[in-house]
C-alpha cells in the first residue's frame, strides 16, 4: 500500500492515543498559551460531522465564580451518585479525584446545536443523534491534540446539564455534550486513573470484537470487582 | 513546558487529524491485512470512557448478502431523506456518493452496551448518555488510526438502526452507534467531500468559539446556499 505517513508519523499517532489520559490533577496557575489553545480548538473543528454540519461550539470558561458554582453542581451530583455504591465501594468512590474544575487553566464546554435549520442536514433524518456524535468526535480530536501539546484534559460528566445551560447561557436547542477541564497536568499517568487505583480493570480487546454477529458475552461490569 | 512529543510527532498527529476523510470510494477487492485491522481496533479500544466502562463493541461485517441487505436500508432511507430537500438540492443530494457498503473491504459496526450492570457505572447517574459518547470517542480514535495506516473509513448514518440490530443480532440494550465502511480508498481528498462538491461550506472556527457565555450566532445552516 502506498503510505503518506512514515512509520514514525504512524507511531506518533498511536502513541498519542495510548498516552492520552483523563486528567484530574493540574498544575495550578500555569496558563495555556493562546496559540496552543487555538491549535487544540482547530483540531476539534476538523472533526467529522454528519452532513458536514459542524454542529459543535466551544465555550471557554475562565471566570472563577462561575467555575466554583459549576463545581457545586459536581459536588451535589457526586453525593447522589455515591448512594448507588455499596458501603465499601462508596468510600473508595468518594476518595477518587474526579475533576479539576477550579485548578485547571480553563474549562471548556463542547456543545451541540440541535436547533432546526432552514434546510435539513444530510444524514440526520433517520439518525438525528448523529449530530451529538459529531460533537463527540470533536472532543476526541481536541483531547489528542492537547495530549501532544503536553496539555491535559479531563471530562466531567458528574455535573448537571441544567446548571451548564444556565451558567453558559445556552439557548434552547444548544446542548452541552462535554464539560472539560484543560490545563498542564501534574503528570500523565502510565495507566488510566480508574485502572491504576483499582476501581475497574481493562477489558481485553478480544472480548469486544465480534465476527458478523454479536455473540452475547458477559454483561459488562459483571467481571468487575 | 516539558514535552514528551517531538515537534515532528506533534505535527504527525495534527496532520492525521487534518487529512482524515469520510471515505466513500474504495478500491474493490483490496483486503485489509489482519494486523492493520487489529491495530486500528486497538486504537479504538484505548478511547476514554465514562467510569472506565469501555462500553463499545466492534462487529465486523464481511458477508456479502448481509451487506447488500444493509445497503437496501440505506437506499430506502436515502429516498425518504431526499424528499426533505428542494427540487434542485434533491437532484444534487441524489447525485452524491454517500456510502461504500459493498465495495469496502469490510463494514464495522461500533455498538454501545447500555444494559444494566451489577454495579452502577461511575459518571452515568446524571449523564447516562455519556456511555454513547464514549463509543463515539472510540470511533474517532479508530478513524485517525486508520488514516495513518492509509485506510479509509466512511460513517453511514443513512441506515435504519432497526435493520442493524436485526442483521447483527444485537441484544436489547446494545445499540448501534456507528456503521462504518472500512477499506483502502481510491484517494484521500484534499477537502471534505461535501465541501469539495459544494454541498456545504466550512464554518470559520472563530464562529464556534465563545468566551464565558454562548453568544447567539446565526443558526447553523442559515448561511448555507
Nearest neighbour of B77 by CB, restricted to A50, A125, A132 = A125
Can you give the length of chain A in residues? Answer: 225
Q: How far apart are the first and last CA of chain A?
A: 44
Query: What's the pLDDT at B29?
Result: 87
CB B42 within 8 A of CB B34: no
pTM of the model: 0.95
C-beta atoms of B194 and A63 within 8 A: no
Query: Do residue A141 and residue B140 have CB atoms under 8 angstroms apart?
Result: yes
Rg over alpha carbons for chain A, rounded to the nearest Å, is: 19
Which ipTM score applies to this complex?
0.95
Distance, CA of A146 to CA of A168 (rounded, Å): 23
**Res A84: pLDDT:** 98
**What phi and psi, each to the nearest 5 degrees, are found at residue A112?**
-130, 140
Q: Is B204 exposed, middle or buried (0-12, 13-18, 19+ CB in 10 A)?
A: exposed
Please calculate the CA angle B145-A203-A151 and round it to the nearest 5 degrees. Answer: 50
Alpha helices in chain B (DSSP H): 7-19, 34-45, 64-82, 87-95, 130-148, 161-168, 193-196
Cell output for B167: 442483521
How far apart, in whole angstroms, are the C-alpha atoms of residue B181 and residue B153?
6
Element (H or E) spanning B60, and its range? Answer: strand B56-61
| B 70-109 residues with CB < 8 A to A | 77, 80-81, 84-86, 89, 93, 96, 98
Q: Which residues of chain A have pLDDT under 70?
A: 1-2, 216-225
Residue B215: the pLDDT is 86
> Which of A201, A194, A195, A144 is closest to A14 using CA atoms?
A144
List chain B pLDDT tens, one digit each, 225 residues.
Answer: 447 999 999 999 999 999 999 999 999 889 999 999 999 999 999 999 999 999 999 999 999 999 999 999 999 999 999 999 999 999 999 999 999 999 999 999 999 999 999 999 999 999 999 999 999 999 999 999 999 999 999 999 999 999 999 999 999 999 999 999 999 999 999 999 999 999 999 999 999 999 999 986 555 555 444
Cα nearest neighbour of A78 on chain B: B123
Q: Does A59 touch chain B (CB under 8 A)?
A: yes
Minimal CA separation from B103 to chain A, in Å: 17
Q: Which CATH number fits domain A25-186: 3.40.109.10, 1.10.150.130, 3.40.640.10, 3.60.15.10?
A: 3.40.109.10
* pLDDT for the residue numbered A225: 40
* Contacts with A219 from chain B: Cβ below 8 Å: 113, 115-118
Judged by CB atoms closer than 8 Å, whether chains meet at B125 and A39 is answered as no
CA-to-CA separations, A112 to A53, A56, A73, B56, B122, in angstroms, rounded = 10, 5, 21, 22, 24
Max CA distance (Å), chain B: 57
Domain boundaries, given as residue ranges, for chain B: 25-186
Q: In chain B, which residues have their Cβ closer than 8 Å to the Cβ of A37?
A: none
Is A55 within 8 Å of A49 (Cβ atoms)?
Answer: yes
What is the pLDDT, as a whole number, of residue B216?
66
Interface of B with A in 129-148 (CB under 8 A): 129-130, 132-133, 136-137, 139-141, 143-145, 147-148
Amino acid at each position: 500500500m502506498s503510505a503518506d505517513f512514515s512509520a514514525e508519523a504512524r507511531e506518533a499517532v498511536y502513541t498519542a492515543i495510548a498516552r492520552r489520559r483523563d486528567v484530574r490533577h493540574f498544575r495550578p496557575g500555569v496558563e495555556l498559551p493562546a496559540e496552543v489553545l487555538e491549535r487544540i480548538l482547530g483540531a476539534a473543528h476538523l472533526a467529522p460531522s454528519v452532513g458536514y454540519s459542524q454542529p459543535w461550539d466551544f465555550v471557554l470558561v475562565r471566570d472563577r465564580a462561575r467555575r466554583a458554582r459549576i463545581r457545586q453542581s459536581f459536588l451535589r451530583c457526586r453525593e447522589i451518585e455515591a448512594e448507588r455504591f455499596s458501603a465499601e465501594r462508596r468510600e473508595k468512590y468518594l476518595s477518587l479525584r474526579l475533576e479539576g474544575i477550579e485548578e485547571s487553566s480553563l474549562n471548556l464546554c463542547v456543545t451541540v446545536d440541535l436547533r432546526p435549520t432552514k434546510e435539513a442536514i444530510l444524514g440526520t433524518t433517520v439518525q438525528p443523534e448523529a449530530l451529538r456524535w459529531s460533537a463527540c468526535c470533536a472532543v476526541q480530536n481536541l483531547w489528542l491534540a492537547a495530549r501532544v501539546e503536553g496539555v491535559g484534559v479531563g471530562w466531567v460528566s458528574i455535573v448537571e446539564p441544567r446548571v451548564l445551560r444556565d451558567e453558559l447561557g445556552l439557548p434552547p436547542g444548544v446542548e452541552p455534550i462535554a464539560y472539560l477541564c484543560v490545563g498542564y497536568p501534574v503528570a500523565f499517568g502510565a495507566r488510566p486513573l480508574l485502572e491504576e487505583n483499582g476501581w475497574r480493570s481493562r477489558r481485553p480487546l478480544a472480548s469486544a470484537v465480534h465476527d458478523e454477529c454479536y455473540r452475547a458475552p458477559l454483561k459488562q461490569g459483571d467481571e468487575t470487582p
